[in-house]
Structure 1
Amino acid sequence: MSGEGRRTGGRFPRCVLFDLDGTLLDSAPDMAATVNRMRAARGVAPMPLAQLRPHVSKGARAMSAAAFPGLGGEVPAELIREFLDVYAEELGRHGAAFDGIEAMLSALEADGARWGIVTNKPEYLARGLMPALGWESRSGVLIGGDTLAERKPHPLPLLHAADAMGFAVADCVYVGDDERDIVAARAAGMRSLVALWGYRLEHDDPRAWQADTMVESPQALLDPDAWP
């Protein structure tokens, strides 16, 4: 165990766990390329990136439903499989880390903190992104949506990640852009931070999620005092 307890002033949290899509990674361009290949195969015009972007953190089913509104929200399993197959081919080709993420991760590392990833993205897809981002040896843990028996908003992935990295829950902060992230953190007894730069639907109200804090940009997290 880390044995350091909660952080002291001027230091970053000892362990930070991050959501991936919409938090560390601006993957919306990859997702748009995916749904537009699917739409083109059906003779449907491309979907603007800005129209798809708010749905990205909700997962493959939500993005498929947004791309094909005629389904009325009823997305068949074969369409989800098609989405994942096409997305695997577009993986990492168009998206990139959000501006300021690399500087923030480097600041954590320079302070001796460790970080990892807990995402609902299938683990094989998340791992496929790591080499191009240079994160495969830097991320202390990577938990995907299918790694364990439960996924967010269940607390198990966060609890498992903290334990795998050798930290008590009190040493950790979870950062995410979706309500499920904050619900999972609260259920785990872990401090939470809303990444306001991420993906949200128009009716989403992050203030109602009851996170410990909300931050507008990765650059703001270069200040240790911005962290809960």
Structure 2
Amino acid sequence: MTSSLPFPRAVLFDLDGTLADTAPDLGGAINRVRAERGLQETPYELLRPVASAGARGLIGAAFGLRPDDQGYEALRIEFLAAYEANIAVQTRLFDGVETLLAALAEKGIAWGIVTNKAARLTDRLTPLIGLGHAACTISGDTTPHAKPHPAPLLEAARRIQVRPEDCWYVGDDLRDIQAGKAAGMATVAAAWGYCGNVEPSTWNADVIAPTPESLLEIIPSSP
């Protein structure tokens, strides 16, 4: 796989569905909320594709509610509490992620995390799954805006002290690509992730990477 992307001084990643397979614990949390109401579990195959959308996606799949619907906020609070209590039971890095991050370090390329997950959850999870050494970690409430707004990505570039145009942003959701483009970064669709039941080829990303290891193949050998 080849590309014409510029050499990255930094590679920034989404967390859920890109670096980490968090869907098992997210799905478990929403099903505990259903169990508290005497409801049967929502099948995992319905929950996994929407895991990158967090509470909004999981509550939508399990309860059919949107953020502006009555009862949504109470469910969101209950769901997040259930998730926080069991945040790293089954969560693992995707196969190839450790190899990818080690290779970036060997090349002198900084890497960081930009997620819409709340900081209290991000800061608890990342050390437990081997991501505590990121050059920066930007959560959904770090800046006044969350993705697809570019503010979190621009804050990450500022903290790493790399120009946005020298960064790549990698994510498994359309909003990741939208945020990366709005920030002036090269964008990579993580096709190994959840992708929300949508074909990543429709997102207009600069590159689609089928696996974490394949990302290494598209990095130029030198600046």
Instruction: Compute the TM-score of the two structures, normalised by the length of structure 1.
Output: 0.89
Q: Which residue of 2 aligns with 1:220?
A: 214
2:165 to 154, 164, 170: 170
Is residue 204 of structure 2 the alignment partner of residue 210 of structure 1?
yes
Alpha-carbon separation, structure 1, partners of 2:219 and 2:142: 33
Percentage identity across aligned positions? 45
- State the 1:226 CA deviation: 7.9
**Unaligned segments of structure 1, at least 5 residues:** 1-5, 8-12
Q: Secondary structure at the match of 1:167?
A: coil
Contact kept in structure 2, 1:39 and 1:45, CA below 8 Å: yes
1:149 to 121, 144, 147: 144
Is residue 41 of structure 2 the alignment partner of residue 36 of structure 1?
no
Q: Judging changes above 3 Å, is the alpha-carbon distance between structure 1 residues 224 and 201 closer, same or farther for their aligned structure 2 residues?
A: closer
Q: Judging changes above 3 Å, is the alpha-carbon distance between structure 1 residues 64 and 226 closer, same or farther for their aligned structure 2 residues?
A: farther
Give RMSD over aligned pairs: 1.7
Deviates more, 1:28-37 or 1:127-136: 127-136
Alpha-carbon separation, structure 2, partners of 1:200 and 1:104: 20
Alpha-carbon separation, structure 2, partners of 1:58 and 1:226: 32
- 1:19-56 residue CA offsets vs partner (Å, 9 max, x unmatched): 00000000000011101111111111122221100111
- 1:145-202 residue CA offsets vs partner (Å, 9 max, x unmatched): 1111011000011011001101011210000000000001111111000000111233
Q: Judging changes above 3 Å, is the alpha-carbon distance between structure 1 residues 226 and 86 closer, same or farther for their aligned structure 2 residues?
A: farther
Amino acid corresponding to residue 46 of structure 1 in structure 2: E
Q: Secondary structure at the match of 2:193?
A: coil
Amino acid corresponding to residue 76 of structure 2 in structure 1: I
Amino acid corresponding to residue 86 of structure 2 in structure 1: E
Amino acid corresponding to residue 53 of structure 1 in structure 2: R
Alpha-carbon separation, structure 2, partners of 1:216 and 1:95: 20
Contact kept in structure 1, 2:27 and 2:58, CA below 8 Å: no
**Unaligned segments of structure 2, at least 5 residues:** 1-5
Alpha-carbon separation, structure 1, partners of 2:161 and 2:183: 16
- State the 1:224 CA deviation: 4.3
Is residue 71 of structure 2 the alignment partner of residue 83 of structure 1?
no
